[in-house]
């Protein structure tokens, strides 16, 4: 079947009109003529935006979707996703230039693994499959993460299974790899000893197995501004250092010279701690382990203004307008579901400025519509693409009360 690709959908597939309606085709670009025979796609007329994938695993690995497209095309596509989400809520905004993280910059990833008859498989799933594709030459991950593969394979040989998969969350820290394992065998005394020896021999800073810390060679520190923080195992961390820096720069610009800031969904202090160089910050987060790490990082740092930490479920108990009296700016970085209840309270508050960070343009637009209806304005939006070659989109925006 010969098709002409009309556009790229939100998940990265090309969309064309077939005899029975829309047809979704992977690995293509708008304007391309293609021939589709089952799962085989042949490019008849390539787009000027088509390029050779930089990674040798691109055809088989499902970790990246858009390596066949130019950077300029991907940038425009992701900006279009955000514009479309805003337009769907009747909104528009001025867009700042997109900031894209470079190749080989992902400092945190969850890899799939399985024990095999001859050893272990560690990598990403093939697209739409449970087949694990080894990626020794991955162009997405930071080289320090790729260097952990021998250690990860050894972990799986000790504690993995041939019948079930193991999830390996690996984070680059200042002290070495921080590894959290889920789905492995139930641990016993002998296995505990073997894993501890492996962590020592491979320089793993911290090894967590099923939520239990098995080995802590040294605290896996992350730097947030002037503070050093040891996040709890598996805690949220921005995917790249470059992406985090871009989001922080946008947040700093949005809050301006604010002297009293509330940071909602504060995590381990990605924004709270750098902002405390200029302002007093109330950091609110639902996970107690994260707030404890944030507070400890602040107490051990020098030259920062006061950071007050509160553990609070903002979905069940959002900060009310009267609690936000006297606050100069709010930073909000909710999970993908957005923050409907908290945004309703912000809409009714007198806070003059909001720095909004989002990993989901759809829920960002939904929440922004509530604020705009209450008299706020979206001053600008900046797309930050730290999930390079994927369909994932992040952004930072400034909203001000009119």
Binding-site residues sit at 238, 265, 285, 333
Torsion (CA) 271, 272, 277, 281 in degrees, nearest 10: 140
Q: Any idea what the Cα angle at residue 394 is, between residues 306 and 79, rounded to 5°?
A: 135
State the Cα–Cα distance between residues 104 and 16, nearest whole angstrom. Answer: 33
Cβ(77)–Cβ(390) under 8 Å?
Answer: no
State the Cα–Cα distance between residues 31 and 364, nearest whole angstrom. Answer: 30
Backbone angles phi, psi at 304, to 5 degrees: -100, 150
User: Pairing relation of β-strands 40-45 and 260-264?
Assistant: unpaired
Percent helix / strand / coil, the chain, rounded to 5: 25, 35, 40
Cβ(54)–Cβ(139) under 8 Å?
Answer: yes
Select from 342, 384, 377 the least CA-distant residue to 363: 342
Host H or E run for residue 369 = helix 361-373
359 is known as an active-site residue: yes
State the Cα–Cα distance between residues 298 and 294, nearest whole angstrom. Answer: 6
CA 23 and chain centroid, separation: 29
Is 147 buried (19+), middle (13-18) or exposed (0-12) by CB count in 10 A?
middle
Cβ(251)–Cβ(245) under 8 Å?
Answer: no
Q: Which of 61, 64, 345, 359 is catalytic?
A: 359
Q: Which residues make up each annotated binding site for S-adenosyl-L-methionine?
A: 238, 265, 285, 333
State the Cα–Cα distance between residues 113 and 277, nearest whole angstrom. Answer: 42
Select from 246, 264, 235, 258 the least CA-distant residue to 329: 258
Residues 6+ apart with CB under 8 A from 354: 254, 329, 330, 331, 332, 346, 371, 376, 398, 399, 400
Active-site residues, by number, are: 359
């Amino acid at each position: 079947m010969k098709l002409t690709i009309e556009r790229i959908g939100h998940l990265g597939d090309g969309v064309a009109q077939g005899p029975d309606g829309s047809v979704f085709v992977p690995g293509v670009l708008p304007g391309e003529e293609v021939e589709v025979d089952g799962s085989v796609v042949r490019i008849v007329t390539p787009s000027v935006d088509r390029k050779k994938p930089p990674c040798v695993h691109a055809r088989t690995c499902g970790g990246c979707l858009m390596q066949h497209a130019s950077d300029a095309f991907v940038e425009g596509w992701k900006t279009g996703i955000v514009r479309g989400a805003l337009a769907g809520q009747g909104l528009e905004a001025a867009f700042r230039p997109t900031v894209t993280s470079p190749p080989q910059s992902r400092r945190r990833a969850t890899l799939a693994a399985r024990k095999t008859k001859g050893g272990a498989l560690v990598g990403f799933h093939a697209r739409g499959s449970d087949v694990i594709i080894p990626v020794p030459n991955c162009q997405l991950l930071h080289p320090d993460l790729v260097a952990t593969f021998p250690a990860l394979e050894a972990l799986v040989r000790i504690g993995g299974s041939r019948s079930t998969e193991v999830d390996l969350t690996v984070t680059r820290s200042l002290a070495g790899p921080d590894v959290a394992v889920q789905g492995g065998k139930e641990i016993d005394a002998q296995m505990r000893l073997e894993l501890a020896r492996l962590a020592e021999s491979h320089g793993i800073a911290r090894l967590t197995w099923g939520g239990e810390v098995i080995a802590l060679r040294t605290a896996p520190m992350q730097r947030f501004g002037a503070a050093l923080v040891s996040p709890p195992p598996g805690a949220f961390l921005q995917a790249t250092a470059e992406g985090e820096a871009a989001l922080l720069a946008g947040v700093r610009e949005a809050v301006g010279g604010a002297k009293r800031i509330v940071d909602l969904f504060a995590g381990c202090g990605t924004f709270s701690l750098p902002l405390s160089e200029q302002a007093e910050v109330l950091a609110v987060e639902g996970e107690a382990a994260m707030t404890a790490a944030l507070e400890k990082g602040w107490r051990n740092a020098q030259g920062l203004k006061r950071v007050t930490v509160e553990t609070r479920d903002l979905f069940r108990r959002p900060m009310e307008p009267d609690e936000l009296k006297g606050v100069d700016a709010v930073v909000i970085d909710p999970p993908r579901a957005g923050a409907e209840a908290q945004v309703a309270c912000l809409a009714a508050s007198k806070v003059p400025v909001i720095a909004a960070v989002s990993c989901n343009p759809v829920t960002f637009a939904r929440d922004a519509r509530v604020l705009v209806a209450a008299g706020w304005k979206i001053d600008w939006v900046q797309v930050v693409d730290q999930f390079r070659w994927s369909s994932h989109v992040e952004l930072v925006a400034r909203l001000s009360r009119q």
